[in-house]
Structures are given as C-alpha cells and as structure tokens.
Amino acid sequence: MTVFRNYFRILKKYIGIIIMYTAILLIFSVSIVLTGSGGTNSFTASKPKVVILNLDKETKVTENFMQYMRENAEIIEIENDAQKLDDALFYKDINAIIYLYDGYTEDFLQNNNKKIEVKQGTDASSAYTNMLLEKYFKVADIARSTITNEDKIVEAINQSLEKETKVEIQSTLDSASLSKASYFYNFSNYSMLSICIYVVSMILFRFNEEKVKKRNLVSSKKYRSITKELFLGNLIFGIIAWLCLVALSFIMIGNSMFSMNGIFFMINSFVFMICTLTIGFLIGNIFKSSSAINGLVTVLGLGSSFITGCFIPVDFLPEVVVQFSKILPSYWYIHNNELIKTIETFNFESIIPLLINMGIVLCFAVLFIIVSNIIAKRKK
Amino acid sequence: MFFHNFKYTFKILLKNKTLIFWTIAWPLILGTLFNLAFSNMSNSEKLNTISIGVIKNETYKNDQYLSSTLEELGNKESDSYLLDIHYAEKEEELKQKLEDKEIMGYIFCGEETKLIIKENGMNQTIVKYVIDQVEEYKNLVTGLTQTKVEEEMQKGNRVEVSQIYQNIMSKIGENKEYTQNIANTNMDYMMIEYYTLLAMACLYGALLSAETIKNYMGNINKKGARVTLAPIGRLPLLLSGLLASFIVQMVSIAILLLFTTFLLKVDYGTRTNLVLLLSVIGSLAGLSLGTLLGSISFKSDNTRIGISNIVVMAGCFFAGMMGVVTKYMIDKNIPLLNKINPANMITDGFYALYYYEDLGRFYFNMASLIIFTGIMILASYYFIRRKRYDSI
C-alpha cells in the first residue's frame, strides 16, 4: 500500500486549500442559519423594513400613523445620517425611508396636504411598503374630508383598517428549514467541486510527473495495483470530505436532516461527490502544469456555481443560462436539491425524478472516466 | 539602458502565461459569469405578476367589491395589472394547480373570505393585502357614513345618506397619489459586483510588479543576482521595470473597462474622467502592493503568487464580491477593516460615483488609496534600498 500511503502524504500539502474552502462553506452556512425563521403552520405576513423620520410634532395623527406602520412593518432605528440611511436603502437593509415633514398634522387637518416624501428601493418589499402607505393616507384623507373631529377621524381610520383575512397553509413540510438545507447543499456544490477537483487532480498530477511515473513503471509494483491504490485513495478522500459536509449540515440545519428529505439530500450529495472525483481524475490526467490546474479549478468551480444556481436561486437566472447549464453535472445536482425540498410524501412515484437526476450525474461520472482512460491510454 | 530594460521587462511580462491569465483573462471570464448569473437578478426581485386562483362560486359572484377589484387587478390592459388569475368552479382544480406550483395560492369565498397558500412569503402577503383592502374599504364606507350621519344630526342638519355614500365612493375611486419617491434612480446594487471585479483587476497588478521587482533582487533569485552586477543604477532599473508593469496593467484595465461598459452594460455613472482616474490610482495601489511582495524574500514563487491571491481575493470578499451584503455588513459593523482594505477603497469609490451626487466620499477613497500606495512604496523601499552583497 505504498501508493495509498503516499496519496495521503501528498494530501497533507493541500490541507490549507481544503481548510479555506471548508471555511467559506462554514461562513455561508452560518449566514443562512442566521437569516430567516422557522415554522410554517401559521401565516406570518412579510414585514418590510422601514425608517420613519418624524419631523412633525408628536400628535394623535402622527402617532396613529406610527402605530399602523409598527403593526405592518418593521421599524428600523438608524442614526439620522443621510449617507448611512442612503447606504442602508441601496444595500436593501431597509426598504423605505419615510419623511413626515414638519407641520404635517396641521396641513392634514386643514386639507393642505403636500405629498409625503419617501425614498424607496426597487424590490417587491419596497413596492409593498408603498402600497401600505398609499392605502393609509387614502383612508386618512377620505376620513378627514368626511368628518371634522380629530379623534373621530383617527377612530374611523383604525376601524376601517382592522380587517384581517383568514389565511390557511396547506403543507406539512417545514419549508423554511428545508429551504435552508437546500441552500446549504446547493452551496456545497462550490466547495465539493473546488476541493475534490483540486485535490484529486493535483495528486494525480504529482503521480503523473514524468520522473515519478518512469520510476513507478520500472518498479516491481504492478501498474494495475498502483492505479487501484490511487483509486482507493481518491474514494476514501471523497468519502471523508462528504462525511464532513454531512456532519456540518446536521450541525447547521438540525431537525430537517433527520427526515426523508434529509436522507435524500445526503444521497444526492454522495452521488455528486463521486462525479467531482471523476472530474478531478480527468483534469489530473490531461494537464501537465500545476498553474494550469489551479486556473482551471478556479474557473470551473466558480463558473459552474454561478450559472447553475449555487450562489443565487435558479429562479433568478435567465432562461438561456438555465438551458445552457444543463450540460453541467452541477445543474442536475442542484435541480435535485430543489426537488427534494418540496417532496411531502416519499413513494416510488415521487422519487423517480430524483433517481433520474442522480442517474444523469452518474452518467457524467462514467463519461469522465471513459474520456480520461482513453487519454491515459494514448499517452502510454 | 532605461529603454532596453523597459523593452525586455515588457516582453517578459507578456510572455508569462500565468500572469496574463490572472490579470487579463480571469477578470473577463469572471465578468462574463457575473453577467450570466446576475443579468436577471434586479428584475426577479421587483414586484412581478402574481399567479393566484379564485373559486368562482355564488358567494364570489355576489361580492361586487371583491370581484370587481380582482377583475381590475387581473386585467392585462389595466395600469394596475398585478394578478394572473386562474378561475375555477371547483376547489380540487386549484388545489392541483397549487401542488404543481402554477399558482401561489387561491381565494375561497364562503362565510368569510379565505386565502389558501402553501408557504409564507412576500407574494402571499401582497395577495392578503389586496383582499384585506377590499374588506377595509367596505368598513370605511359603512363606518364613515354612519359617523357623518351622526355628526350632521347632532348639528341639526338635514341628512342625505345617499349623497354621503356617493361622496365616499367617488373618493375611493379617485386615482390620487399621496407619496412621492425621492430616491436616487441609480439603485442597482448588483453593480457592486462589477466594481469589485474592477478592484480585483486593479490589485492583480500586484502580480506584474512582484514578478518585475523579484527579478532585480539579488537575494531572491539568480536573475536578480546577475542584474545587480550589471552597470545600471538601481533607480532607472526599478522605474523602467515598473513602467512596463504599469503599461501592461493599464492595457488590462482598459480592456476590462471597455468589455464591461460596452458588452456587459455596466453603469459607471456619468463622470467618466473620474472613473478613469480611479482606475489609474487603483492600479497604482495594486502595483505598489506587488512592489512590496516582490521585494520580500519568500520560499518560492508559488508562495508569492499564493499570498498575492489571498490578499486580493480576501480584500474582494470583504468588498462584496461573493455577496454584495458582505460589504455593507463590514462597512456597518467593522468599518475599520474596509477603511484599510484597498479593494474596498476602489469598490467604494466607484459606488460613490454611481450613487452619490456629492464627491466627498469619492475623494476620501482616492486619498485613502494614495496613502495606501505611499505606505507600500515606503515599505518596499526599506527592503530594496542600499543592498550590497559580498557573496550570495
């Protein structure tokens, strides 16, 4: 088992790279755990984040508006610094800044209202904030133009805005937690591709170096046994990397990983791990320079992650890109993760699409092995 | 001698495939990937049409308010088109559509109006808002009419209920806007990704100058030892080498700027001269970083390239390359880190030109870059100056 032992001796040299990609995955998984909330059996309205700068006095009219916004939005406290507020709006930390001008109450009661100045973002939450504001000011305007007493105006506004439609959720899935799991496993596409391809190809490159290869060929050890030990080394490395990934997912995601959905996330990632090993095998057999391998791993890892929905959800990608990405194994892996998170009952019918996608990933793996064998034979 | 050294350094740099890949090809590849991945991002985040089902039972048909509101919102010709409505007589049909994700939920009008959905989200909240609003306007009409009647009766006036009702209804029907959006129109935050790309390209100039400087260091490599023996002063040697690096770097930045502006349609704002000035100062910062890395003795060339890569990529990570929000989180929570991060100085400079009218922030970043460049040059001067070797 000399080759096998040597495999892990060389592997030690690349431990820095492995730690770096694992750290990136760790940072990402911590960030997905920190965002979003669980629990789906009851309806929770999405609340836009707003900053309200009340430059008017505290009156019943302004206080009522503040109360309405507190119920329908998340009021964010940020230092009243124009640049900090504008930055928060640009980076979508808040969806709108509302400026209640000095003298608003007086103008409102005397029907001299100017338009309320609002700085709003461009996303759906910002549009929703605008809807909330327009509705409130419209109701307030109609109430004020019909009745004269300030208290009664406020009362009329509140009475009309208290309606709550009943909302039922028809799903037994913990979709928030499963979404986190799918985000995690989608992102792991980048880590697995980078780690497995880099390590496998670099180690094979070391074994394929002319002097080393010649020494190996003249040694008493059979060539087939060298290949076998290399294969075993790759497989064991892949399994260890996969186990680390799965362990991290259990720590970060928790309960959902103990469900059938969780088991399929694991199986799917195992199949993909096999495929990444074969890509590394192919690259290690083709390239003769470590800097070329380095460049290719970076391009391949980042490239296929950007266009297959690993970093941003597939729904956000242009259709042409999605169609093109089907020629990459990453697409089928991520597509499968997206399917797994939506399956409520696991039976033969529901898992057939999953098996087909895994089959496609395995076909890619077989293809890469065949191509690298052809290339290796030609070189020989 | 100056021109001779300049010419050969230029040739050496252009023939180094690894350097050319990282400084010219890699930013173009990454920019293309950004474009493929992010071109649809801003549109996807906007409020788009929401697919919703409605059970067309008797109760729904009799509810004039709700049916007319939904009809208006579902009319493709209308300005307020928001909902893609799937009508059905039976609930099973819509249940299936909900399962197949053709719709995000459906409305059922029974004793009370219900919204049935699969999961929480912004679209679901907006549909609930629409149904709420219909009920709220009903409340408003009845509540206000009653209060107005009471008010008029207390004053002893003659009350015309239908007149009051008509007035309120006409006001509800009015299309009046109460708010005015005064936000800047340059709000596409994915631009930050491209600015980090330019920052990365500027800082990758470090690889060029490190390669050049390393070749003049007698204690680092044999070529350096030979060059040190040559009858040429240290200053013209360094200046000619760095000038060659600067020209290669400016060519790569010019290619990237043209590529991102004309092919990827990146918006750098309207102040082109300042964009170019920032690119030049950013490149100088990158070259000065490389001068320092080139003058320090490392175990191997790979270690030097590795360290350059880590410094540049970590800087770009904190400046928002792997997620725009990272930049904002760092700016907000650990501002000092981004104040000393050259990748962020460049990115933030471009952001200031794109988003802010006022140039204060832009000049602050420019000044920071100049200070950073000065520190790097002073530090490398410490390693390069007055080196004499008796034997290497």
Instruction: Give per-residue pLDDT as tens, A61-96.
Output: 999 999 999 999 999 998 888 999 999 999 999 999
Q: Is 50 exceeded by the pLDDT of residue A40?
A: no
- Of the listed ranges B211-215, B217-221, B347-351, the least confidently predicted one is B217-221
Nearest CB among A46, A122, A137 relative to B46 is that of: A122
B21 contacts chain A (CB < 8 A): yes
Report the pLDDT value the prediction gives residue B367, as an integer from 0 to 100: 97
Nearest CB among A142, A160, A167 relative to B115 is that of: A167
Which residues in chain A have their CB less than 8 angstroms from residue B24's CB? Answer: none
Residue B298 — pLDDT band, cuts 50, 70, 90?
A: confident
Across chain B, the runs of DSSP E, i.e. the strands, are 50-55, 83-88, 105-109, 113-117, 179-181
Which residues in chain A have their CB less than 8 angstroms from residue B22's CB? Answer: 295
Report the pLDDT value the prediction gives residue A159, as an integer from 0 to 100: 85
Mean pLDDT rounded to a whole number for chain B:
88
Nearest CB among A45, A87, A146 relative to B331 is that of: A87
Query: What value does the mean pLDDT take over residues A353-361?
Result: 96
In Å, how far is A249's CA from the nearest CA of chain B? 21
Q: pLDDT tens, A234-255?
A: 999 999 999 999 999 999 888 8
**B120 three-state secondary structure:** coil
Report the pLDDT value the prediction gives residue A32, as an integer from 0 to 100: 66
Cβ within 8 Å of A, B 178-217: 178-184, 187-189
- Of the listed ranges A236-240, A270-274, B386-390, the least confidently predicted one is B386-390
Structure tokens at A83: 């640049």
Which residues in chain B have their CB less than 8 angstroms from residue A315's CB? Answer: 44
Q: Which residues pair with residue B109 across a beta bridge? A: B113
Which residues in chain B have their CB less than 8 angstroms from residue A314's CB? Answer: none
Neighbour tally for A258: CB within 10 Å: 11
What gap in Å lies between CA B79 and CA A131, rounded to an integer? 15
In Å, how far is A167's CA from the nearest CA of chain B? 5
In Å, how far is B246's CA from the nearest CA of chain A? 23
In Å, how far is B194's CA from the nearest CA of chain A? 14
Q: pLDDT tens, B64-97?
A: 888 888 988 998 888 888 999 999 988 889 988 9
C-beta atoms of A169 and B39 within 8 A: no
Residue B198 — pLDDT band, cuts 50, 70, 90?
A: very high
> Which helix (H) or strand (E) covers residue B329, if one does?
helix B324-333
Q: Is 50 exceeded by the pLDDT of residue A38?
A: no
In Å, how far is A97's CA from the nearest CA of chain B? 9
With a pLDDT cut of 70, the percent of chain A lying above it is 96
C-beta atoms of B324 and A171 within 8 A: no
Q: Is 80 exceeded by the pLDDT of residue B361?
A: yes
Which residues in chain B have their CB less than 8 angstroms from residue A122's CB? Answer: 42, 45-46, 187-188
In Å, how far is B119's CA from the nearest CA of chain A? 6
Q: Is 90 exceeded by the pLDDT of residue A344?
A: no
Q: How buried is A58 (Cβ within 10 angstroms: 0-12 exposed, 13-18 middle, 19+ buried)?
A: exposed
Query: What value does the mean pLDDT take over residues B31-36?
Result: 90
Which residues in chain B have their CB less than 8 angstroms from residue A165's CB? Answer: 113-115, 128, 131-132, 135
Nearest CA in chain A to B49: A124
Nearest CB among A87, A165, A169 relative to B128 is that of: A165
**B54 three-state secondary structure:** strand
Query: What value does the mean pLDDT take over residues B5-22?
Result: 90
C-beta atoms of B36 and A321 within 8 A: yes
**B328 three-state secondary structure:** helix
Q: By the 8 A CB rule, do A276 and A192 touch?
A: yes
Report the pLDDT value the prediction gives residue B199, as an integer from 0 to 100: 96
Which residues in chain B have their CB less than 8 angstroms from residue A127's CB? Answer: 46-47
Nearest CA in chain A to B301: A291
Cβ within 8 Å of A, B 303-322: 322
The residues, ordered by sequence, that sit 6+ positions from B296 with a Cβ below 8 Å of its Cβ are B383
Residue B155 — pLDDT band, cuts 50, 70, 90?
A: confident
Report the pLDDT value the prediction gives residue B101, as an integer from 0 to 100: 84
Alpha-helical regions (H) of chain A: 2-11, 15-34, 60-72, 82-90, 104-109, 124-146, 150-160, 175-208, 210-218, 223-253, 260-286, 290-308, 319-325, 329-340, 348-379
What gap in Å lies between CA A324 and CA A13, rounded to an integer? 36
Nearest CB among B34, B121, B131 relative to A46 is that of: B121
- Cα angle B157, B161, B165 (rounded to 5 degrees) comes to 125
Mean pLDDT rounded to a whole number for chain A:
88
Higher pLDDT pick, A37 / B311: B311
Nearest CA in chain B to A172: B118
